[in-house]
C-alpha cells in the first residue's frame, strides 16, 4: 500500500490520500465539527463509455446497484438465481413468440415473479442505511462519472464499508425489468420539460462525434431494449477498483479508518481496466443550427467548443462566462435583460473532465416580441463589442471574488467536500485540486480572458439551437 500525505493547501481542510494494492484510491477529508461523515464512491464511468444501442446503460446500472448483491436484498440467492435466469430467458423469447406461446410465457412470468417476491427483500440497502441514520443517500450518473453517496453518523463507518464494498463487487440484477420501466419514466419526465429537451438537442448538435452527444439517461429505444446481460457485461468491464475513488469526509481519522476501508475494499479483485479510446470532436467548420418544435415559450441555447479542462485557458473561459452572465451587474444581463431583449440569460462551461473538449453554453430566453434572430444578433453583437473594447479590471476581479467564495462555500457541507475531492482525485489525481486552482485563477489576466474570447467564441464556431415559439 502506498501512502501519500498531502498537507492542506491554501485554506482547505486536512486531506490524506492512500492507494490500495488493487489500485483503489482512498481519500480522507477531515472536518471534526460534527460527528458525521460523508461516504462517496465515484467511478470514472459515465455515458462517454456507451455507444448507440446501449445509451443509458451507465445510468441504468446505477439504478441496479441499489438492488443488492448475492448477500443483500435476498434471503436465498441460490434459489433466486434460477428464477432470475428464467425470467431473463422469457423476456428474451417474448418478442419472437406467437400469441399462444406468448400467453403461456406471460403466465409463467407471473408465477416466477410471485416466487421471486418470496425471496427478495426490496430496497433493503435503503432500509439498512435508514436504520443507522443515513441521510442524503443517493447516486448520480453523468457524462463522465457515476457516484454513490450518503451521510452517516461517524460511528457507522463499518456499515458503510461493508455494504458499499459488497454491492460494487457482487451485484445481482434483480427486479431488472421493473427498474428499466422506472428509468423510462424518469426519461419521460425530461421529455415533457422544454429546458431538458433543448439541452438534449443542443449537445447532440454541438458534438457530432464525441461520446457525450447522447443524453445520459439514454434514448428510449435503447433503454427499453437493453438486456440484463448487457448491463452485467458493462458492469464487469468498467466497475474496477482502478477506475474508482472513494472519499470519506467529515469526522474521519485517516490512520485508523484506512484499516477499516482496507479490510472491506482491499478484497476487491484487481482487474486491468479496459483500454478506452474516446472519439475526439473534430474541428467545427461553420455555424450549426437546429430548431425544435415544442409547444413552449421560446428558448435559445448557444454553445461553443472550448479548451480542455485543467488548462489555464479553461479557467480563463470560466471567468469569461462569469463576467458575461453572473449577477445583475454582468454585461449580458445588462445588455439583454435590462434592455428588454431577453427575459433571462445564463452561461456556464461544461468541462467533461478533460475527456473531450469543454463546451461553453449560453441560454437565452427571448423577450416577448423579440424573435430568435434579433436575440442571436444581440448576443453576438455584445461578444464582438467586448472583443473590441475589452473587459475591465473590476469585472475580472468580481469574477475572481465570486470564484473564491464558491470554493469557500463548498466547505460548508461535508458531502459537497467529499464529492468535490472525489472528482478532483479522479480527474486530476489530486483531491485538493480545487484549492490549487485558486492560484491559477489569481494569475489570470485580462489578456488571458480576451484570448479565449477571441479564440473560442465566434459565430462560425457556434452551435445555435432554438425551441418553441417561431422558427
Instruction: Looking at residues 233 to 262 of the shown chain, list those that interact with another protein (rule: CB under 8 A).
Output: none
Does 402 interact with another protein (rule: CB under 8 A)?
yes
Separation CA 470–CA 291 (nearest Å): 9
Among residues 92, 47, 317, which one has the least CA distance to residue 204? Answer: 47
**Nearer to another protein among residue 359 and residue 399 (C-beta):** 399
Does 367 interact with another protein (rule: CB under 8 A)?
yes
Separation CA 288–CA 214 (nearest Å): 17
Which of the ranges 139-147, 347-355, 398-406, 436-444 carries the binding residues for another protein, by CB under 8 A? 398-406
Does 61 interact with another protein (rule: CB under 8 A)?
no
Per-residue CA distances from 443 to 85, 280, 296, 308, 439 (Å): 59, 29, 44, 18, 6
Contact 245, 251 (CB under 8 A): no
Which of the ranges 17-25, 280-288, 321-329, 422-430 carries the binding residues for another protein, by CB under 8 A? 321-329
Does 10 interact with another protein (rule: CB under 8 A)?
no
Contact 149, 139 (CB under 8 A): yes
Strands of the 14-19 sheet, one edge to the other: 2-6, 14-19, 25-30, 244-250, 36-43, 146-153, 135-141
Instruction: Looking at residues 119 to 138 of the shown chain, list those that interact with another protein (rule: CB under 8 A).
Output: 121-124, 126-128, 130-136
Does 31 interact with another protein (rule: CB under 8 A)?
yes
Does 385 interact with another protein (rule: CB under 8 A)?
no
Candidate list 50, 164, 175, 200; residue touching another protein; CB under 8 A: 175
Residue 115 backbone zone (phi > 0: left; psi -120 to 50: alpha; other: beta) = alpha
Distance of closest approach, residue 255 Cβ to another protein, in angstroms: 17
Among residues 262, 265, 248, which one has the least CA distance to residue 40? Answer: 248
Interaction mask 80-109, another protein, x per CB under 8 A: ------------------------------
Distance of closest approach, residue 352 Cβ to another protein, in angstroms: 26
Does 348 interact with another protein (rule: CB under 8 A)?
no
Which of the ranges 203-211, 239-247, 329-337, 382-390 carries the binding residues for another protein, by CB under 8 A? 329-337
Beta bridge partners of 301: 363, 465
Does 328 interact with another protein (rule: CB under 8 A)?
yes
Beta bridge partners of 148: 41, 139
Candidate list 39, 46, 56, 68; residue touching another protein; CB under 8 A: 68
Distance of closest approach, residue 5 Cβ to another protein, in angstroms: 22
**Nearer to another protein among residue 25 and residue 59 (C-beta):** 59
Which of the ranges 221-229, 275-283, 400-408, 431-439 carries the binding residues for another protein, by CB under 8 A? 400-408
Separation CA 133–CA 139 (nearest Å): 17
Separation CA 68–CA 63 (nearest Å): 10
Separation CA 138–CA 148 (nearest Å): 6
The percent helix, strand, coil of the chain (3-state, each to 5) is 50, 20, 30
Does 274 interact with another protein (rule: CB under 8 A)?
no
Which of the ranges 102-110, 148-156, 224-232, 436-444 carries the binding residues for another protein, by CB under 8 A? 148-156
Amino acid at each position: 500500500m502506498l501512502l501519500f500525505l498531502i498537507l492542506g493547501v491554501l485554506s482547505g481542510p486536512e486531506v490524506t490520500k492512500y492507494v490500495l494494492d488493487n489500485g483503489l484510491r482512498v481519500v480522507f477529508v477531515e472536518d471534526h465539527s460534527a460527528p458525521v461523515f460523508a461516504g462517496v464512491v465515484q467511478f470514472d464511468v459515465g455515458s462517454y463509455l456507451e455507444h448507440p444501442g446501449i445509451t443509458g446503460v451507465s445510468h441504468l446500472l446505477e439504478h441496479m446497484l441499489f438492488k443488492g448483491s448475492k448477500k443483500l436484498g435476498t434471503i436465498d440467492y441460490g434459489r433466486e438465481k434460477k428464477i432470475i435466469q428464467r425470467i431473463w430467458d422469457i423476456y428474451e423469447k417474448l418478442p419472437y413468440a406467437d400469441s399462444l406461446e406468448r400467453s403461456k410465457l406471460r403466465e409463467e412470468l407471473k408465477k416466477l415473479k410471485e416466487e421471486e417476491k418470496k425471496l427478495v427483500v426490496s430496497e433493503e440497502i435503503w432500509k439498512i442505511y435508514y436504520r443507522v441514520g443515513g441521510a442524503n443517500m443517493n447516486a448520480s450518473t453523468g457524462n463522465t462519472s457515476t457516484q454513490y453517496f450518503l451521510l452517516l453518523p461517524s460511528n457507522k463507518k463499518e456499515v458503510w464499508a461493508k455494504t458499499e464494498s459488497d454491492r460494487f463487487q457482487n451485484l445481482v440484477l434483480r427486479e431488472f425489468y421493473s427498474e428499466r420501466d422506472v428509468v423510462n419514466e424518469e426519461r419521460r419526465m425530461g421529455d415533457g420539460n422544454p429546458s431538458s429537451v433543448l439541452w438534449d438537442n443542443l449537445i447532440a448538435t454541438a458534438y457530432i462525434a464525441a461520446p457525450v452527444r447522447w443524453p445520459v439517461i439514454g434514448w428510449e429505444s435503447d433503454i427499453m431494449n437493453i438486456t440484463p446481460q448487457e448491463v452485467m457485461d458493462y458492469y464487469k468491464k468498467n466497475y474496477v477498483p482502478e477506475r474508482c475513488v472513494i472519499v470519506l469526509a467529515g469526522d474521519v481519522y485517516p490512520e485508523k479508518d484506512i484499516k477499516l476501508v482496507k479490510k472491506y475494499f482491499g478484497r476487491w479483485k484487481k482487474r486491468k481496466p479496459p483500454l478506452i479510446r474516446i472519439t475526439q470532436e473534430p474541428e467545427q467548420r461553420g455555424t450549426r443550427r437546429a430548431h425544435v418544435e415544442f409547444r413552449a415559450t421560446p428558448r435559445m441555447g448557444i454553445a461553443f467548443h472550448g479548451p480542455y479542462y485543467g488548462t489555464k485557458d479553461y479557467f480563463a473561459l470560466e471567468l469569461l462566462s462569469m463576467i458575461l452572465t453572473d449577477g445583475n451587474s454582468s454585461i449580458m444581463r445588462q445588455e439583454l435583460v435590462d434592455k428588454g431583449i431577453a427575459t433571462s440569460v445564463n452561461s456556464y462551461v461544461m468541462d467533461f473532465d478533460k475527456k473531450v473538449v469543454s463546451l461553453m453554453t449560453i441560454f437565452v430566453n427571448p423577450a416577448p416580441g423579440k424573435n430568435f434572430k434579433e436575440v442571436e444578433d444581440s448576443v453576438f453583437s455584445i461578444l464582438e463589442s467586448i472583443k473590441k473594447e475589452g473587459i475591465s479590471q473590476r469585472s475580472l476581479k468580481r469574477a475572481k471574488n465570486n470564484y473564491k467564495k464558491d470554493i469557500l462555500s463548498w466547505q460548508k457541507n461535508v458531502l459537497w467536500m467529499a464529492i468535490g475531492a472525489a472528482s478532483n482525485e479522479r480527474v486530476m489525481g489530486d483531491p485538493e485540486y480545487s484549492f490549487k486552482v485558486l492560484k491559477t485563477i489569481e494569475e489570470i489576466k485580462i489578456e488571458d480572458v480576451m484570448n479565449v474570447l477571441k479564440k473560442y467564441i465566434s459565430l462560425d464556431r457556434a452551435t445555435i439551437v432554438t425551441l418553441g415559439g417561431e422558427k
